[in-house]
Amino acid sequence: MQVADFLGLLGGLALFLYGMQMMSDGLEDAAGNRMKQILEKLTSNRFLGVLVGAGITAVIQSSSATTVMVVGFVNSGMMKLQQAVWIIMGANIGTTITGQLIALDVGMMAPLFAFLGVAMVVFLKMPKARHIGKILAGLGVLFIGMDMMGAAMAPLQESEAFVSLMTQFSNPILGILAGALFTAVIQSSSASVGILQTLAVSGLIGFDSAVFVLFGQNIGTCITAVLASIGTNRSARRTTIIHLMFNIIGTIIFTTLCLTLPVTDWVGAITPNNPAAQIANMHTIFNIVTTALLLPFGTYLAKIAEKILPEKEDEKQESVIATLNKEFHKGNAKLGFSAVHMDVLRQEIERMIILARDNVKLCYQAILDNDLEQLKKAQEVEENIDTLNKEISQYISKILVNNRSDENIAAIEEYFLITGNAERIGDHALNIGGYVEVINKKSIQFSEDARKELMNMQKITKDAIDYVIHKDEEDTAKWLSRIAAMEQKIDDMRSTYREKHLQRMRDGICSEEACVLYSELLTDFERVGDHVLNIGQSYAKIYGKM
């Protein structure tokens, strides 16, 4: 092999991988949010799960990306492990579409695809048109890279050493190991299968040997999901175990069949003069048959994964958002993570709002009970809120940098505002609790009427926070109007109760110090209501863009 041929091979490989990434990016930009919505609405129906997994993976042309998304959903608690099984099975079927596209041999049209795609990206301003352009350009670059690799490897047909190396893969173990290792390195079974097809078309590897490499490639593709599961919770790691088990079991079954039956002859006879199609067909058959065989046993795969990784009561799990911040820091936020971003953000912000809500109640109770121990608990909760606020802020800054979907940016910015308002609710909750020290120091007593009024303020504040978190109504305007009405009621109650308390002070029922403190408490509850309305307004803007 000459130096020029070797450089041509490297250049072709670079274009192939870049075209694959470009096409996947374009597809994800165009359909990322839809993928998320489909996965969210997934039921426990195994057949629907397989179809959804296959469909999503066929769209983004990466089973690794789909599996990474599933790991993210399981890690964040948005999907059960049993649901993940069906998605993974479908993902393995959907990933075979790339091989089938390559087998169509549309290389002659590759320059036209590349030209049209680049022209759309450069000259058109509409985001959707540019996404489609990126898909076309990626497809064109992919096929140009394949042609370059094929031309560069043509001289290798005369190299006895290389041909001898390729024949070694007729040994099932060597072939499987080679396929798994190569796919693990480039982290894309679609790309590695495409390269295997190029070798077969160039006559450098026979179909009998290529099938074992192909089986190994299915195992190697699990490496991306394994990397994505590092640092996640046990359910997420079990998802990657299921992915590995699926492909290992499929490899054992098909290797045994190929060694005992003329399976390669049967598959090869479908397209006798098209090595690329033979490999694509075997890849499709491998995943469809393995799915059909394992579909009745999906729940057992989940149970086996739970046995391999049992729960540990003393195991401390860090927050989902802290884990993903680490993935960003390590540079592991790869294709597929963008479909998880918005859901993780929404879930973690909701958790922060709930913590703030519970702290308002805890601090209110500390006032009524004059209990300093409850104040200490509230201070610990406030520390958790501040930590979560910091993690969410870091996460938002990172996804704003890495996010490719323009339509998400406005929503992310609103989430940032919601985070700030949630943090302020926590601050006002601690202000309320902090008055316990003043009450203890000055032996302040509230009248029974004042206590009932504070209870009413706490209740409507809690109801407002609950309502802003759980949006049951489809009409966003009506939902926001109800929140605004609750906030106005809090304002009105503050004014009314303040006047009543002033009258009680004039009547000698309450002391001057109690009146001042009571007025401060009402102000903190009123400020909480203001922040709840701010949160509702931000959520309304997000819902309006969904």
CATH of the domain at 532: 1.20.58.220
What is the predicted pLDDT for the residue at 518? 86
Establish if 150 belongs to a structural domain.
yes
Verify that 355 and 217 share a domain, yes or no.
no
Establish if 61 belongs to a structural domain.
yes
Establish if 317 belongs to a structural domain.
no
What is the predicted pLDDT for the residue at 330? 45
Domain extent at residue 510: 322-544
Q: Give the span between the Cα atoms of 198 and 215, in whole angstroms.
A: 17
Q: Cα-Cα-Cα-Cα dihedral of 123, 128, 130, 136, to 10°?
A: -120
Verify that 330 and 229 share a domain, yes or no.
no
Q: Which of 88, 93, 87, 85 is nearest to 40 (CA)?
A: 87
Verify that 120 and 43 share a domain, yes or no.
yes
What is the predicted pLDDT for the residue at 178? 85
Establish if 316 belongs to a structural domain.
no
pLDDT in tens, 42-92: 545 777 778 877 777 776 556 666 766 676 667 656 667 777 788 888 887
- The residue among 258, 279, 308 that closes a domain is 308
Q: Give the span between the Cα atoms of 363 and 356, in whole angstroms.
A: 10
Establish if 351 belongs to a structural domain.
yes
Give the N- to C-terminal CA distance of the chain in Å, as an integer. Answer: 55
Verify that 118 and 239 share a domain, yes or no.
yes
Verify that 83 and 206 share a domain, yes or no.
yes
Question: Which of 235-272 are b and which e, b meaning 16 or more Cβ less than 10 Å from the residue's Cβ?
Answer: bbbbbbbbbbbbbbebbebbbeebeeeebbeebbeeee
Verify that 120 and 49 share a domain, yes or no.
yes
Establish if 315 belongs to a structural domain.
no
Verify that 350 and 293 share a domain, yes or no.
no
Verify that 257 and 146 share a domain, yes or no.
yes
Verify that 376 and 250 share a domain, yes or no.
no
- The residue among 283, 308, 333 that closes a domain is 308
What is the predicted pLDDT for the residue at 405? 56
Tokens of 319: 């927050």
Q: Give the span between the Cα atoms of 324 and 330, in whole angstroms.
A: 10
Verify that 285 and 381 share a domain, yes or no.
no
Tokens of 106: 């549309």
Q: Cα-Cα-Cα-Cα dihedral of 231, 237, 239, 245, to 10°?
A: 130
Q: Is the pTM of this model over 0.85?
A: no
Verify that 77 and 198 share a domain, yes or no.
yes
- 69 close to 333: Cβ distance less than 8 angstroms: no
Establish if 313 belongs to a structural domain.
no
- 425 close to 360: Cβ distance less than 8 angstroms: yes
Number of domains in the chain: 2
Establish if 189 belongs to a structural domain.
yes
Q: Helix 63-75 vs helix 234-260: angle between axes, to the nearest 10 degrees?
A: 150
Taking the CA atoms of 464, 469, 471 and 477 in sequence, report the sign of the dihedral they define: positive
What is the predicted pLDDT for the residue at 496? 93
Overall size of the chain counted in residues: 546
**In one letter, which amino acid is 302?**
A
- The residue among 261, 286, 308 that closes a domain is 308
Q: What is the pLDDT along the chain (546 residues), one digit of tens a residue?
A: 567 777 877 887 788 777 767 776 776 666 555 555 555 555 457 777 788 777 777 765 566 667 666 766 676 566 677 777 888 888 878 777 767 766 766 556 778 888 988 899 888 888 778 888 888 888 788 778 767 766 776 665 566 665 566 667 778 888 888 888 877 776 666 777 877 887 888 777 888 888 898 888 888 877 766 765 665 667 767 888 888 888 899 999 999 998 899 988 899 898 888 888 888 899 889 989 998 898 888 888 888 888 888 866 544 444 555 555 555 544 444 444 555 567 777 888 888 999 999 999 998 888 888 888 888 898 999 998 998 888 888 878 877 776 655 567 788 888 889 999 999 999 999 988 888 888 888 888 888 888 899 899 999 999 999 999 887 666 888 899 999 999 999 999 999 998 988 888 888 888 888 888 888 999 999 999 999 999 999 998 887 755
Q: Give the span between the Cα atoms of 252 and 255, in whole angstroms.
A: 5
Verify that 219 and 272 share a domain, yes or no.
yes
Q: What is the mean pLDDT of the chain?
A: 79
Residues whose CB is less than 8 angstroms from the CB of residue 267 and which lie 6 or more positions away in sequence, other chains included: 207, 278, 281, 282, 285
What is the predicted pLDDT for the residue at 322? 58
